Each structure stands twice: as C-alpha cells, then as structure tokens.
Amino acid sequence: MRRTRTIRTRGFTLVEMMIAMATGLILIAAATQLFTQALNATFIVSQRAEMQQNGRAAVGLLSQDISLAGAGLPTGGVQLPKGTGNNPIYGCDQTKCYVAGAAPAGMAYPSQHLDGIIPGPLGGIPLSAGGNNTDVVTIAYADTTSSINQYKVTAFGPSGTSITMAQINPAPTVPALNDPAIGIKVGDLIMVTNGGSAVAEVTGVTATTLSFADLDALHINQSTAPSGNMNAISTPPPPGPPSTIVVPAVRILVITYYMDLNPGPDGIRYTADDLPPRLMRQVNGQTPTPVAENIADLQFTYDVSNSATIDASNIKDIIAQGYAPSDIRKVNIASMSARGQMHGKPGFQGMDLSTSVSVRDMSFRDRYQ
C-alpha cells in the first residue's frame, strides 16, 4: 500500500502581516516627509531667487534714475509758475493722483521749483494698518533719446499756450512729433529755453505743434502766472539767418517712485485679500507702471551740502532741516525690503536692501568761491 505524503504550506501570521504593514507605512511616511521637505526647500530657494530678482530690479532702476538726476536741466533747476495760488504738482496722471496720503491729491513742488531730486518723506501709503507711511522720491532729468531733440521752436502761440516746431536739419527725416510709437504724448513735460527756461505739460500734439492749455492735470500750464511759465519766455526768436536760429525744446522726465497696495477684490485695503505691495514708477503725467512686486518698505535719507551750513548726512526731511533740494549730494535708500511667501507656513521670508547713490549732476560745489 502506497502512502500519500502531505506537505503543509505555512503563510504569514496576522502578527507578522501587521508588523510588515507597519514597517512599510513607516518607510512610506519617511519617504513622503523627505519629499515634502525637498519640495519646501525647492520652493524656498525659488522664492528667494524671485525675491532677489525683485530687489535687484527695484534698486537697479532706482539707482539708474537717481544717478541721472539733474542731467540736462539748467544749473539750479527750473522755476515753475507761481503767483496764482495754484501750485504745480507731481505724482498724477491724466485721471488721478497716486501720492500724498490715503486720498492722494499729488504733491506740490517745494517753492514751485523743479529740481533734479525732490524728496517726499512720508508721502506714500503705509503697507499695513497702523504702520508708518512709506516715502516718495521724484527725480528729474532731460530725455536725450527723444526725437524732439531734432526739432527747434519756430513760433510761440498766444500767451505761450503752444509752440510750433520744425526740424533743425531738414535733410535727415526724423519721426513726427505725434509719432504713435516714439513721439510726444499728452502728459509729457517739455522744457523750452529762450533766454530763460520754462516747463509746460503737453495737452495736445500734432505733427509740428505742441499745445499747453491751462487746467492741465499737473497744474503746470498757467498762462496768467506773472513768472515761471511758457509765456515768460515766449519772445520771438532773435533775428538772424533761419539756419542758425535754434530755440531748443527737450522732453523732461519727472519720475516718481512710490509704493502701491492694491486692495484686492473686496476693495478694502489692509484685509486678507490684498494683492502684494508693489514699487511703482510714474513718469510725467503718464500712467504708472510697476517695477517690482513684494517690496515691503521704502524709506530714504539724504546727504546734503551747501555753502552756508555744515555738511549733514542721513537727513530724512531736508526741508524741515532748512535745506533745499538743490543741496542734495547723495540719496540713501535707507530701507527697502523684498519679501516672499513661506511655503506651507504663515508669514514671509524677507531680504533687506540698502544702497547709496551719488547725484552726479548735482554734486558740484565750489568750496573756494
């Protein structure tokens, strides 16, 4: 009789399966944790890179404009219209203003005078409820790339409310004044030199004529002002061969930097849906453009020097200290912070930025005069 051999196959017990599953879960949790940490680290690195990029963009453009302050302007700046009680302002476009408090109305030029640097201490909005106001700074210099530099003034309109222009050298063809791409636009500021210099805001433009009507957005065109307006220099060009008569007109860039905090969908500032704060750049009477996002502060101080007082450094409000904008020799970006959202955590990571820029076109001082 043949015996049948029985072979028993033994599987995992319940305890062994539970131990194996627990070990697997631990390994999966560890791998998930490592992956999450790697993602967080990658996000933090990318955010830091973006922060640095925003900071470099902000500081770079600010430094470039500040270094050109006063270039092409007459020594000591340009007197704007005065005597009518209507101060010329900056920080506005053709529809609204952006600086000088929670209900912006624009900022008046100190003594109705256009200088290469115009400080605006605490002229911007706070970036948090109850926080300190940010600063505003305005830089002015001549635009050497504009096609208007190839034109001369041939006639002034009544009371200096317009100028008619012709090419200085008619041989090479230059773009018309109203060229849609690179021409003069409404809101641009034009400086004309004819014995003295005056600045006006363009309110209309054709191929050969620029209009400077009163009631402009920046309150610069004041044809009835006793001084400082286009009418004050609108004497006919001096006699002589037409080819030798050049009454120059140049476009002036008056550039205002300020902080903006968009209130988001609910329309209420300092609530959770606010968009990131932005550093804005506004030129003449044109619409502002953003320079960089997530800039958390903007504060300036100034180094000043004149012949009547001892040199001083790191002054925030130079007007209150008895100095004039023409006394500025260096602009210090005292506080500018770039920030980025933390990944998976509340709060931000930040990077403080600061630098000093010498104002090369305002730095001359004759100590031996």
pLDDT greater than 70 at residue 4: no
64 belongs to a structural domain: yes
The total number of structural domains that make up the chain: 1
- Mean pLDDT, residues 263-275: 87
Q: Is residue 18 part of a domain?
A: no
| Averaged pLDDT, 216-234 | 92
**What average pLDDT does range 216-244 have in this prediction?**
80
Write out pLDDT tens, residues 299-327: 999 999 887 777 888 999 999 998 999 89
Interacting residues of 36 by C-beta distance below 8 A, sequence separation 6+: none
Cα–Cα nearest to 247, from 163, 182, 322, 185: 163
- Residue 319 located in a structural domain: yes
321 vs 316, 318, 329, 335, 353, CA distance in Å?
9, 5, 15, 21, 26
Residue 13 within any structural domain of the chain: no
Residue 40, in any domain of the structure: no
Strand 151-156 and strand 162-167: the pairing is: antiparallel
Residue with tokens 């053709």: 94
Domain holding 105, by residue range, is: 48-362
Is residue 42 one of the residues assigned to a domain?
Answer: no
Instruction: Tell me the DSSP string of 126-178.
Output: -SSTT-PPPPEEEEEEE-TT-GGGGEEEEEE-GGGSEEEEEESSSSS----TT
Predicted TM-score (pTM) of this structure: 0.83
> What would you measure as the largest C-alpha separation in the chain, in angstroms?
143
Q: Which has more pLDDT, 345 or 142?
A: 142
CA dihedral 156, 191, 109, 127 (to 10 degrees): 130
Residue 121: inside a domain: yes
Q: Note whether residue 369 is domain-resident.
A: no
